[in-house]
Amino acid sequence: MERCRLVFSGSGGQGVITAAIILAESAVIYEGLVAVQSQSYGPEARGGATRSDIIISESEIFFPKVTQPNVLVCLTQEAYNKFYTIPRPGGILITDSHYVETWKKVDSRQIELPLYQSVIKEIGKPIVLNIAMLGAVIKITHLVKPESIMKTLETRINPEFLSMNQTALELGMNLAEDYAMEWIGGH
Amino acid sequence: MAIKDWIRERFFPHIWCPGCGHGMVLNALLHTFESLGISKNEIVMVSGIGCSSRISGYVDVHTLHTIHGRALAFATGVKMSRPDLNVIVPMGDGDALAIGGNHFIHSARRNININAIVMNNRVYGMTGGQYSPLSGYGTLATTAPFINIDHAFDISRLSMAAGATFVARTTTYHTKQMSELFKEAILHEGFSVVEVLTQCPTYFGRKNKAGNAVEMIKSFKNNTTQIGSKAKEQNPDLIERGIFLQKDLPEYSREYDKVIERAKTKKR
Amino acid sequence: MTGTLKFVQGNEACVEGALYAGLQFFAGYPITPSTEIAETLASKLPQIGGKFIQMEDEIASMCAIIGASLTGSKSMTATSGPGFSLMQEALGYAIMAEIPCVIANVQRGGPSTGLPTKVAQGDVMQARWGTHGDHAIVVLTASNNQDVFNITIEAFNVAETYRTPVILLFDEVVAHMRERLTVPEKNEIPLVERLQTSVKEGVDYHPYLPREDGRLPMSDFGGVHRYNVTGLYHDMWGFPTATPAIVDGLIHHLTDKIRNNVHVITKFKEYYLEDSSTVLISYGSAARSALHHVLNRRKRGENIGLIELQTLWPFHGELIREKCKNARLIVVVEMNLGQLYRQVKMAVDRPERVFLANRVDGVFITPTDIKNMLRLIQGRGV
């Protein structure tokens, strides 16, 4: 990874922005990497398709937005319909199979994961869907270690919810086991 | 200390017209300071723009002559930063209640320990006689050459409704009462308003055929009465003088100490 | 650099800088995209015994910080375009009465309510000329969190040194973007504390009599020296006057103390200017895209460089002229209709070589935008 650009999308309340911040913060604070996270603001950012951009890099980042992500995550159909064209050629498009029906004519490598169903089945709390998604993303991309995500979570959430989040993170990682990549990102 | 030790003689003569009531307010205020026995260094006077606002410059305390209508906002900064200081804000009726009306009601709402003195002469004097929000229906002014159709505020009721915890009214005829009310107001912990009916013979008086300064002052004697007096029952048109409201409620800059305390112990 | 590593928004980096500089008092009114500054300070200031107050509007906020500053507290407010407009009269008061304070304006699209959540850099001229009358002003900006932190400290230092309000002109992209920030250990960055008068109690203190170096030692309200502060032209006692000689002296003192120190106040960064035939000039978030483009083209052997201005006002025209003297193309990259562009045009020897690469539709200007505009300017087509 020299530089990896990601876009997390979904609907308000799914925690995609929180997941983006946790990922970028983990990269900066615990992995010594450079990262930038941004999101769209305003009334239009509530409801509809929420989006957050993350760039994680081994060198300084100047332009902070993502136009063509290496990794796109869509947690709703609306987000998928809106953004499925934006990944750069050879990029990865991760979707949740409960929420998103994918098109076949898409240039990206599509990875459909039963994140929502597994979270409901194993944990019973949809609130940790975003952390399961994050587990899948780090398993596929190796951007940061799961321990780094957990350390960040420790500073952000109530201790009594930590083990539930750990379970969700591992659940996501397990679901993505077969899709781990050799190399992600570009220069 | 002699009364004259409270003024900055270097800056006299003052700018006010002969017969103006503002000098009488200044005089009463100096007597108040004298009787309170507080140090000059503990007093900050903050004023805005207008004839009345020049009062601060003549007093030998810390004086902040600011912009039109915003004196209370400046004073809020002073008081929050140094709650131990006595902050007094003399204002004209236009300064306090037209351009500064929003700051007036919000200062009252917070109940911050600032003493607002509204010198109500019912006219914009410095700009030459335009109607103010206290001129009242039927008066004349350079900007109401035919008749003024604006109704006046009742400063006391407005102040009470907005949350002030000390509200009083007097006139330039009643100089002793004025000084006493100033003293009560300064000693009060919370936002206090003292309205002083004062004369502007030059503009309001001439325009409205209210007579010269002496006649205007006499009208304050004849047209006002002490709160709750028998005279008021017989003549409801009389304007009441005295303390309308005096109650103890938590004061803002002291309340903020609680915020600090909670923040330091991370209580929410 | 040693210190505490954080991952925060630009607005929080501004807060960290302000607290590092010794901020004690904040008054403000909520407005996008600056609100996080107020929210963060509402939490952090009382923890260190400082004061936060949410006022009834931006006018009151600006006035309150002036009042607090007079009593000796380092003070600031934060706002965006519409609120900044409301602050202009009191800003002029702070200039006239020489009261140190800091105003952060996180720019969004204007005029009027405009684009509250979108980026723009349209307040460059409002910051310069928003308040009435001839005056000098210091306006600083930055493009990344570390610089936002540093320039915020610098704003407090300049405010105290010259006894003047200082404006921090940030923008939505820098304010909302999260990236790393290292907060250095205490004392690592020098701080300027208020110059207090050495005049003893009982001896005449002239609050508005500058020293020979132009600096004005202060006595805090509540201290042993009682004096008058006014927005009227005033004499050395702070008392109103219309005496022409005194008025003339004061207006020149107020403007000269900034203008004569333009070389000290000016902060900027330069990239590859030695051999550049094309020089980009940019500031704030736009400078990130400009630098991204410069690095891209450098890899391809193009002689292109960048001046990133951190001090917009006073504008250091001489510096721009000197740095651009060998450039064949000078392109100002900003998100407005050419507010700094005109200033650059006036500064350089060959104004016909100055062009504007901009974007004003609420979308952050991209390196591709800059590339395309440059190709047109260079006559190479898109």
Q: Under CATH, to which class is C3-184 assigned?
A: alpha beta
3-state helix, strand, coil in chain C (%, to 5): 40, 20, 40
The residue in chain C having the minimum alpha-carbon distance to the alpha carbon of residue A42 is C117
Contacts of A95 (CB under 8 A, 6+ apart): A73, A74, A75, A80, A102, A110, A111, A112, A113
Span A87-126, pLDDT tens digits: 998 899 999 999 999 998 888 999 999 999 999 999 999 9
Contacts of A21 (CB under 8 A, 6+ apart): A37, A52, C7, C178
Bridge-based pairing of strands B192-197 and B166-171 is: parallel
- Angle at which helices B71-81 and B252-264 cross, to 10°: 50
> Is residue A44 predicted with pLDDT exceeding 70?
no
Q: Is the pTM of this model over 0.95?
A: yes
C103 vs C90: CA distance, rounded Å: 11
**pLDDT value, residue B268:** 63
Bridge-based pairing of strands A3-11 and A71-74 is: parallel
- The domain locations on chain B are 17-264
**Is there a cis peptide before residue C82, judged by omega within 30 degrees of 0?**
no
Q: What is the DSSP letter of B203?
A: I
Q: What's the whole-number mean pLDDT along residues C286-304?
A: 97
DSSP helix/strand/coil, C288: helix
> Is residue A187 predicted with pLDDT exceeding 60?
no
Tell me, yes or no, whether chains C and A touch by having 3 or more C-beta pairs under 8 A: yes
CATH code for the domain in which residue A96 is found: 3.40.920.10
Query: A37 and C295 in contact by Cβ < 8 A?
Result: no
**pLDDT value, residue A185:** 73
- The neighbours of chain A, by the rule of 3 or more Cβ pairs under 8 Å, are C
Q: Evaluate whether residue A82 is within a structural domain.
A: yes
Q: Which of B55, B62, B72, B68 is nearest to B108 (CA)?
A: B72
Residues of chain C with CATH 3.40.50.920: 270-377
> Is residue C156 predicted with pLDDT exceeding 90?
yes
Bridge-based pairing of strands C165-171 and C101-107 is: parallel
State the average pLDDT for chain C. 97
User: In which element (H, E) is residue C329 found?
Assistant: strand C329-334
> Token pair for residue C33?
């995209």
Q: Write out residues in chain B with pLDDT < 70, as ranges.
A: 267-268
The residue in chain C having the minimum alpha-carbon distance to the alpha carbon of residue A36 is C179
**pLDDT value, residue B2:** 87
* Long-range contacts at C260-267 (CB < 8 A, ≥ 24 apart): C260/C214, C261/C162, C262/C314, C262/C315, C262/C316, C263/C316, C263/C319, C265/C138, C265/C158, C265/C311, C265/C314, C266/C311, C266/C314, C266/C316, C266/C319, C267/C140, C267/C151, C267/C154, C267/C310, C267/C311
**For residue C333, what are the β-bridge partners?**
C282, C357
Nearest CB to B77; choose among C56, C66, C89? C66
The residue in chain C having the minimum alpha-carbon distance to the alpha carbon of residue B252 is C53
- CA-based nearest distance A136→chain C, Å: 23
- A128 C-beta neighbours (distance < 10 Å), count: 25
Nearest CB to B73; choose among C55, C69, C228? C55
CATH number given to B17-264: 3.40.50.970
Q: Percentage of chain C with pLDDT > 90? A: 98
* Residue A56 domain boundaries: 3-179
User: In which element (H, E) is residue A143 found?
Assistant: none
**pLDDT value, residue C213:** 85
- CA-based nearest distance A34→chain C, Å: 7
DSSP helix/strand/coil, C228: strand
Span B129-186, pLDDT tens digits: 999 999 999 999 999 999 999 999 999 999 999 999 999 999 999 999 999 999 999 9
| CATH T-level assignment (fold) for domain C270-377 | Rossmann fold (3.40.50)
Q: What is the DSSP letter of B4?
A: G
Interface of B with C (CB under 8 A): 8, 10-11, 40-42, 44, 46, 56-57, 60-67, 70, 73-82, 84-85, 102-103, 106, 256, 259-260, 262-264
- The neighbours of chain C, by the rule of 3 or more Cβ pairs under 8 Å, are A, B
Nearest CB to B77; choose among C27, C227, C229? C27
Task: Give the range among A33-42, C93-102, C201-210 with minimum mean pLDDT.
Answer: A33-42
- CA-based nearest distance C18→chain B, Å: 17
Contacts of C342 (CB under 8 A, 6+ apart): none
Residues from chain C contacting residue A21 (CB–CB below 8 Å): 7, 178
- CA-based nearest distance C288→chain A, Å: 5
CB contact at 8 A, B56 and B29: no
**pLDDT value, residue C214:** 83
Q: Evaluate whether residue A132 is within a structural domain.
A: yes
Residues of chain C with CATH 3.40.50.970: 3-184
**pLDDT value, residue A171:** 98
Span C42-84, pLDDT tens digits: 999 999 999 999 999 999 999 999 999 999 999 999 999 999 9
Q: Based on C-alpha coordinates, what's the Rg of chain C?
A: 21
How many separate domains does chain A show? 1
Query: B62 and C65 in contact by Cβ < 8 A?
Result: no
CB contact at 8 A, C306 and C280: yes
B205 vs B239: CA distance, rounded Å: 18
**pLDDT value, residue C329:** 97
Task: Give the range among A46-50, A72-76, B210-214, C219-223 with minimum mean pLDDT.
Answer: A46-50
- CA-based nearest distance A58→chain C, Å: 13
**pLDDT value, residue A48:** 72
**pLDDT value, residue A60:** 97
**pLDDT value, residue A12:** 83
Strand order in the sheet with C25-28: C51-54, C25-28, C75-79, C101-107, C165-171, C138-140, C311-313
Nearest CB to C229; choose among B65, B75, B81? B65
Q: Which of A80, A114, B135, B78 is nearest to C221 (CA)?
A: B78
- Angle at which helices A129-141 and A146-156 cross, to 10°: 150
Q: Based on C-alpha coordinates, what's the Rg of chain B?
A: 18
B34 vs B189: CA distance, rounded Å: 20
Q: Evaluate whether residue A173 is within a structural domain.
A: yes
- The neighbours of chain B, by the rule of 3 or more Cβ pairs under 8 Å, are C
Sheet strands (E) in B43-127: 43-47, 62-65, 86-92, 114-120, 123-124
Q: ipTM score of the complex?
A: 0.97
Residues from chain A contacting residue C180 (CB–CB below 8 Å): 28-29, 34-35
Q: What's the whole-number mean pLDDT along residues C304-319?
A: 98
Residues from chain C contacting residue B78 (CB–CB below 8 Å): 67-68, 70-71, 221
**For residue C5, what are the β-bridge partners?**
C182
Tell me, yes or no, whether chains A and B touch by having 3 or more C-beta pairs under 8 A: no
Contacts of A58 (CB under 8 A, 6+ apart): A1, A2, A3, A33, A34
